[in-house]
Amino acid sequence: MRSARRLQRHDVQGVVARVVAKLSREATINHYVNPLISSTQLSEALHATRDASWVAVDDDQIVGHLYGALLENDDYGRGIWIGPDGCSFDDIDILAELYAQAGSHWISEGARDHYVWTLDEPSSTQPWLELGFARMHQRGVIALDRDFSHELRDGYSIRIGGAHEIDLAVELDHQLDEFQKLGPSFSMGANRSSRRADLLDTLEDPEVHHYIVEWAHEGVAQCLTFPLPDIRGSFPRTLHLSAVTVATAHRERGIATAMVDRALSDARTQGFDFCETNWRVTNRRASSHWRHYGFTPTYVRLHRTIASS
């Protein structure tokens, strides 16, 4: 008889084997997915999170598992985050049993927003969609083995900024935020009260590069890059690209493409092999731009909010 229960010590190696097999399968579907994983580190992590992990068992065989990290931040509040190694299931009914058990616990802990990073292909996404989740953010990857040679138009120039440019960074970030509030994204719920402090912390990080495009001695575009920390499914020596913003009056002039070209060309010189970025799936302009630029979708972030009434 099949049932879902908390992870026990003797389940750990079975879950590790499932995760290793899952990542290997995903890498055959999308070659921008890194299948390599430390079984030892994963085993240690599972032992440390047994109280927050669930398994589905059928005749003493593990047929699924689910783990979600309870995190709290200013932008997303108190929520559950499930990574590519945080779940496996043989069919949707197994996932439903696991989610029923884990979700009830998460809700009792006050976590009503649930996020899942999963491979963007139907067998991975459809079961979650049938449980009420929706597509939220796309992750894309590009290899840095190509030519990045787009130039800015006459009158524009690019330079490196930093923490001393915090006012400009906040202003351009605000413009991006205002654009995201428009339809069809309607991104209105994020708490931005600590955004200035967060940006300042980011710009003060010596590993962060802040690129600024100028027109008539005024900053009109920016982006940030930094080395991507080790995350499941991503390759070593991967750069993360974020906060790409062009002021409204200067859009449709190839500024973003030329600015990102400069950033990725620098990254290749510094020894990076790949770059990742994320975009809202409802931001059709961004989705079209990044795909056209050459980013290949890998994972998608799904989201569900459990209503309080």
50: pLDDT strictly greater than 70: yes
Domain range enclosing 166: 143-298
pLDDT category of residue 190 using cuts at 50, 70 and 90: low
191: pLDDT strictly greater than 80: no
64: pLDDT strictly greater than 90: yes
Q: Is residue 274 located within the same domain as residue 165? A: yes
pLDDT tens-digit readout, 110-121: 999 999 999 999
Residue 278 in any domain: the answer is yes
Task: Report the domain count for the chain.
Answer: 2
pLDDT tens-digit readout, 298-308: 999 999 999 87
Asked whether the whole model's pTM tops 0.85, one would answer yes
pLDDT category of residue 185 using cuts at 50, 70 and 90: confident
Residue 307 in any domain: the answer is no
Closest CA to 242 of 209, 198, 197: 209
Q: Is residue 128 located within the same domain as residue 167? A: no
Q: Is residue 198 located within the same domain as residue 106? A: no
Cβ neighbours around 79 below 10 Å, total: 20
Look at residue 116 in the predicted model and tell me its pLDDT: 98
Residue 137 in any domain: the answer is no
160: pLDDT strictly greater than 70: yes
Q: Is residue 115 located within the same domain as residue 187? A: no
pLDDT tens-digit readout, 69-122: 999 887 778 999 999 999 999 999 999 999 999 999 999 999 999 999 999 999
Looking at 82, 108, 132, the residue that finishes a domain is: 132
Residue 180 in any domain: the answer is yes
Starting at the earlier edge strand, list the strands of the sheet with 87-89.
2-6, 53-58, 61-67, 87-89
Once rounded to an integer, what is the mean pLDDT over residues 22-46? 96
Look at residue 187 in the predicted model and tell me its pLDDT: 76
Handedness of CA 51, 37, 281, 247 (dihedral sign): positive
Residue 54, classed as helix, strand or coil, is: strand
